[in-house]
Amino acid sequence: MKSLPYFCRGEVIRGFGRGSKELGIPTANFPDSVVDHLPADISTGIYYGWACVSNGDVYKMVMSIGWNPYYKNTKKSMETHVIHTFKEDFYGEILSVVMVGYIRPERSYDSLEALITAINNDIEEAKAKLDLPEHLKLRDDNFFTSAGSSPSAPPPNTASTSQTIMNGH
């Protein structure tokens, strides 16, 4: 995928409400405006990378892009699981992510337990891959320090509104 690494940011919106409740794996969801502007070569599936909420710390993440076949969604989504325990929800905050690599295509599962096992395997794979030197350097990218520091004055060559995505900052 030529578009990787892919840099994007947007406001965290309420999703389907399944991540925390059904799966025990909370996700932060991007609005349609971010999902709809993904490059054509970013196929559906599971990705790994780095994420930052507002101007906070940068953490490892896994992201599902697609229709979640187990749930038979009719709307494409981008759901990010930040590999960190947050004290509270952060709806309305700006989430900045760098998608670094691709783990696998999306697929359906015979049971909720099988889906949860697959997600946990994805998390472990992401943790290991993000420890590689070529991926670690992206954790400190200036993209994260420019994450909405001033909504009225975006950094050069980037935008910081919830309706905008960017790459190649």
- Mean pLDDT, residues 150-162 taken together: 36
Q: What is the pLDDT of residues 36-78, one digit of tens each?
A: 999 999 999 999 999 999 989 999 999 999 988 777 777 899 9
Given the candidates 1.10.3720.10, 2.40.30.30, 3.10.150.10, 1.10.760.10, the CATH classification of the domain at 6-142 is 2.40.30.30
Catalytic residue at 79?
A: yes
Reported confidence tier of residue 103, pLDDT bands at 50, 70, 90:
very high
Burial 77-98 (b: 16+ CB within 10 A, else e): bbbbbbbeeeeeeeeebbbbbb
Candidate list 79, 124, 125, 134, residue with the active-site label: 79
CB 44 within 8 A of CB 84: no
pLDDT at residue 166 in the model: 53
Question: Which tops the pLDDT comparison, 63 or 18?
Answer: 63
What's the CA gap between 49 and 80, in Å, rounded?
A: 10
Q: What is the pLDDT of residues 110-140, one digit of tens each?
A: 999 999 999 999 999 999 999 999 999 999 9
Question: Which residues neighbour 59 within 8 Å (Cβ) at sequence distance 6 or greater?
Answer: 50, 51, 52, 82, 83, 84
